A and B are shown apart, each in its own frame.
Chain A
Amino acid sequence: MGEVAKLLADHGPAFGQALLLTWKLTALSFVPGVLLGLGVAMLRLFPLPPLRWVLTLYVETFRNIPSVALLIFIVFALPDLEFVIDYEPSVVLTLVLVCSAFTADYVRSGINTIPGGQIEAALSLGMRPARIIWSVVLPQALRSVVQPMTSLLIALMLSTSLASQVPFPGRELTTLVSKIATDSAAGMAAFAVAAAMYVATGLLIAWAGAALDRKLRILR
């Protein structure tokens, strides 16, 4: 415990900044990622084979690619194709792409829980498919995927540790721990503090997600 106290005395502000950076990266990637994933999921519904094929390719690619490989591709290979993206946007872009692929998948299974009878009823009422998607499918799909999306948010937060692999301006929690561990003997204490911060954030998100799920979920 004394070690932890000393560590916080030396590096307290750094840990605070690192935690804020972690949260910032998480939020910056989650919101666009979910919106993009929703868009992909909705577009996949349309009966246009080329569109569906390409979107399936998109989802399968970004679900299966290791985040490190994607980040390295964006940071080191894209510039050869004349796309030079700075480090922080590169990390965010990587997380957004991966998040969108998983979101698209979860939303699709959410869509599949909607009973077909509702759609048939809506069709018989004369509603257009676009209107059905917007008013019937989307709200129910969103309400039924709160739980996997919560897990995705937590996984995304943990994936921000990726930023330690490129010359990132500023240090998030994992980079900070590895620096402290390399430069001093306080590695164990640093790890304990960082782990506590990660776990606490994750538990908070999980608790909020569970509460949201209880309110929103549809019991069939």
Chain B
Amino acid sequence: MPLSIHSFLKPTVAALAIAGGGAVCAQGTPIDAAAFDALVAQGPVASAEAVAASPWASKIRQAGTLRLGGTQTSNLFSLLNEKDGRLRGFDAGIAQLLTRYILGDASKVQFTQVNSSTREQVLINGQVDTVIATYSITPARAEKISFAGPYYTSQAGVLVKANNQAIQSYNDLGGRKVATQAGSTGPAILAQFAPKSTVQEFQTHQEALDSLRQGRVAAYVTDYTLLLNTLSLGTGDAKLAGAPFGAQDPYGIGLPKGSDGVAFVNAFLKKIEADGTWAKLWTIAIGQRTGSTAVPTPPALP
């Protein structure tokens, strides 16, 4: 499956580049803003009893805004368009649909930028109500906070520069410098699959990408979907080395430890998966932009 995505991808991006002019190459296909906004604006809204039954949701309802921890700089999952101030992407869509579900209005979000190092702490500190930021569910994290979902799964992939012949897969990473995101599952995956590599941890996806482009590292190991959108780095192309590997990485929605919001958010996820909103969001945020047409089935909820 992934290999066929890959073979769709290069010609698609190339065609779009020719059609859309140079700017496209720098950031991949931009998201269809109108379709995204329309999808989010007609998401489901919870009934008053459902909200009242959950203290976590009621608190948010009373406050009038959902305090969200997320990212503004992730191209596929959540990118801030500074011209209209709107966040768009897969994670951003889930967050805004959740906001509309609780508050009836997708725009009542109070946003806080988090990164891999601060994700747990902002939930522990009560700085945000929830964290939606390509947040992998791991037992270590589950000790400090609670997860709803999973709402998405992915595997790890290896990104290298297009002219790199030496690295064909994760097996060739020994003795090389590899970038990964701090606090993500990357370090653990590298410890397991490429223990002889020298790992450099970065706070954000963007910084890790830049380090690859600038030659500080030979490869970047992170979520495969993130890599699919990054095949053009701006001043030098990149390619995927090998197929996705490692265990299926489930993304969850971070909530304070022991919060009853888990059940509430899981009910919300079940709803948007059942009525096709999840699939539509995937198509708009990921599918159309990586040349994949086969919509995956959403992961099973506990």
Which residues of A are in contact with B by a Cβ distance under 8 Å? 76, 79-80, 84, 167, 182
Contact = CB atoms under 8 A, between A and B. Distances in A.
Interface stretch (B7-15, B94-102, B209-217): B209-217
Contacts of B117: 182
A182 B115 CA distance: 14
Given A76-B207, A182-B117, A182-B121, A167 B214 contact: no
Given A79-B215, A84-B216, A167 B200 contact: yes
Contacts of A84: 214-216
A167 B117 CA distance: 13
A80 B263 CA distance: 47
A115 B121 CA distance: 58
B202 interface: yes
Contacts of A76: 207, 210
Contacts of A79: 210, 214-216
Contacts of A182: 117, 120-121
Nearest to B217: A167
A16 to B, nearest CB: 24
Contacts of A167: 200-202
9 contacts: A76-B207, A79-B210, A79-B214, A79-B215, A79-B216, A80-B214, A84-B214, A167-B202, A182-B120
A167 B207 CA distance: 11
Contacts of A80: 214, 235
A84 B214 CA distance: 7
Nearest to A183: B140
A182 B118 CA distance: 9
Given A84-B214, A84-B216, A182-B120, 14 more contacts: A76-B207, A76-B210, A79-B210, A79-B214, A79-B215, A79-B216, A80-B214, A80-B235, A84-B215, A167-B200, A167-B201, A167-B202, A182-B117, A182-B121
Nearest to A167: B200
Contacts of B121: 182
A66 B222 CA distance: 31
B252 to A, nearest CB: 19
Pick the most buried of A79, A84, A167: most chain B CB atoms within 10 A of its CB: A167
Interface string B166-207: 000000000000000000000000000000000011100001
A162 to B, nearest CB: 14
Interface in B117-139: 117, 120-121
A84 B211 CA distance: 10
